[in-house]
Chains A and B, each alone.
Chain A
Amino acid sequence: MKGLFQISLTELKLAFRNFIYVFFAFVFPPMMLLLFGGMYGNEPSQFYNGHGSVDVLTPAYIGMIMAVSGLMGLPLQLSEYRQHKVLKRFKATPVSTGAIMTPHFLVNGLLCILGTILLVIVGKIVFNLHFLGNLPSFLIAFLISVICIFSIGFLIAAVAPNSRAANAIAYLVYFPMLFLSGATVPLQIMPQAIVTISKFLPLTYCVEILQGTWLGNPLSDFVRAIVILLVISVVCIGASIKAFRWE
């Protein structure tokens, strides 16, 4: 597709120039892992049903990376591009609308993968991280999670009237999900009230399937979570496409 590669390449460069984004996608998750891994180590712990803390926390932190790229990066870029008529300027070229929109999903998806790889490398080197699952199952869980989180981000971009509103909505969605879904702080240590709230946060189900498949449970254990995530994805994508404006 004409322009797709160059736009994606350029967007990737631009993402790396955004300090806050780089920090939350690449620095913050390994930092948290070093902090909590340092505190609890990766020895089998009764608290985590005999799993090491790092082995349990790492897949949850992958959810954290998804949240920053999907709920912050994606909607903020898109709404900024709309407000400053960058999308409109792209439309004033022979490039297809697909080639204009796809790079934002590709680049944020790629950053998710890169952030995950970095986190895993840090975990492996520092704490001898174990992957106990089946790789295809985990990758499917990863994909389902990315689709769901990105569809929510796309919806934020579609409904926000301007980039300030997108910013406000993104923060309102991102921070509660970050802290109340088990992505940052394990739900096991949360009070019951927060566990109840977490049931309403899509990221909770992402963490559930990422953690579950990472630790070796089959996908079939998580049918409920997967259905919830897919339904949210379909609803958000449909609503986004309907609500999206180019300017």
Chain B
Amino acid sequence: MSENTVISVNGLTVKYKDLVAVNNISFEVKKGEIFGIIGPNGAGKTSTIECLEGLKRQTEGKVDVLGINPANRRKLYEHIGVQLQEASFPDDIKVEELCRMFSSFYDTPADYHVLLERFEMADKKKAYVKKLSGGQKQKVSIVVALIANPQIVFLDELTTGLDPQARISMWELINYLRDEGKTIFMTTHFMDEAEYLCDRVCMMVKGEIAAIGTVKELVTQAKLNQKISFSSNNASKETLQSINGVVHVTQNGNVFELHGNGANFQRDIVRYLTENDIEFDDLSSTKPGLEDVFLKLTGYRLGETA
């Protein structure tokens, strides 16, 4: 394990009776990055993250978190903080009581007053956790995770069930944590979230890694075409077809769609159109994203709320 690696997973397999939830996956996470596992429900995301958190035993394979075998739960949790999917806190507990209780679990806890202040929750100290909104509850669960003063923060489907505004504010918080030097290991089924937040993405499908890398790498690896469309009265399908990088052209009345790729695809097209006096209007271009990578790899769309 190199000095920069904080998590290494080697041949991880998780089986439940007949079901193989995670099938022989391997990857590494580097210090200070936001690493995200993305995939549909049942892809094995939670099984994977829970093996790293020591909450689940792998059937096979080796997992190493900060040089600790996660089976050594009590040692591991001196160094990591977690937010668990769907986990809640006692029914009648107040925010401050919860924070105080979790602070007592650590030798050198982070000051929860400061954390609550930073997450704009200071005025909710006396509030019952169950009375908070979804977004506020998730903020509390991050505060509780951070009381550990963790080097790595594990977030399992943090933004599921939150409204768009609360999701965006979670994204800001996560970016903030990374800027503070923490490593973030997260799972999500939102493509836009992974695209926006993750330095590296691990796309899981049916317990296996379908693709892994930066968003840009995944898009390049998938050899996805960009799409540029415009309307023109003097263009012809044939000439457009001949532009460098163009793979495929469709025409619908005077609207043309160019599919193709290349490092400077957009610029090449515009330059060709201008140099050849082809008039164009309503030009728009669509860059492929993770959603398209997923579609290409699996043949179906994950969708916004899968």
Interface string of B105-137 (1 = CB under 8 A from A): 110000000000000000000000000000000
CB-nearest residue of chain B to A83: B88
Query: Are A94 and B106 in touch, CB under 8 angstroms?
Result: yes
Q: Is A102 an interface residue (CB 8 A)?
A: no
Q: Among the listed A13, A80, A81, which residue makes an inter-chain contact with B97, where contact means beta carbons less than 8 Å apart?
A: A13
Decide yes or no: A94 and B77 within 8 Å by CB, A5-B104, A13-B97, A88-B84 being known contacts: yes
Q: Is A91 an interface residue (CB 8 A)?
A: yes
A residues 46-99 touching B (CB-CB < 8 Å): 80-81, 84-86, 88-89, 91-96
Q: Is B53 an interface residue (CB 8 A)?
A: yes
> Interface residue count for A (Cβ, 8 Å)?
23
Query: Are A92 and B104 in touch, CB under 8 angstroms?
Result: no
What is the total of A-B residue contacts with beta carbons within 8 Å? 67
Contacts of B74 in A (CB 8 A): 94-96
* Cα(A7)–Cα(B105), bound, Å: 9
* Cα(A86)–Cα(B86), bound, Å: 10
Residues of B in contact with A, size category: 20 to 34
Question: Which of A14, A93, A94, A95 is packed against the most chain B CB atoms within 10 Å?
Answer: A93
Query: Are A85 and B101 in touch, CB under 8 angstroms?
Result: no
Decide yes or no: A6 and B101 within 8 Å by CB, A88-B84, A92-B82, A94-B75 being known contacts: yes
CB-nearest residue of chain B to A6: B104
Q: Among the listed B88, B91, B97, B148, which residue makes an inter-chain contact with A85, where contact means beta carbons less than 8 Å apart?
A: B88
Q: Among the listed A13, A81, A95, which residue makes an inter-chain contact with B105, where contact means beta carbons less than 8 Å apart?
A: A95
Q: Is B100 an interface residue (CB 8 A)?
A: yes
Smallest beta-carbon distance A101→chain B, Å? 15
B residues 205-261 touching A (CB-CB < 8 Å): none
Q: Is A199 an interface residue (CB 8 A)?
A: no
Query: Are A80 and B91 in touch, CB under 8 angstroms?
Result: yes
* Cα(A88)–Cα(B93), bound, Å: 17
* Cα(A14)–Cα(B101), bound, Å: 13
Decide yes or no: A92 and B77 within 8 Å by CB, A14-B90, A80-B91, A84-B88 being known contacts: yes
Decide yes or no: A10 and B97 within 8 Å by CB, A80-B91, A81-B90 being known contacts: yes
B residues 42-93 touching A (CB-CB < 8 Å): 53, 55, 73-75, 77-78, 82, 84, 86-93
Decide yes or no: A86 and B82 within 8 Å by CB, A93-B77, A96-B74 being known contacts: no
Q: Is B102 an interface residue (CB 8 A)?
A: yes
Smallest beta-carbon distance B91→chain A, Å? 7
Query: Are B87 and A88 in touch, CB under 8 angstroms?
Result: yes
Query: Are B93 and A10 in touch, CB under 8 angstroms?
Result: yes
Q: Across chains A and B, which 9 residue pairs bring their CB atoms closest together, nearest first? A: A6-B104, A85-B87, A17-B92, A94-B77, A84-B88, A93-B105, A89-B87, A3-B105, A94-B74
Q: Point out residues on A near B: beta carbons under 8 Å.
A: 2-3, 5-7, 10, 13-14, 17-18, 80-81, 84-86, 88-89, 91-96
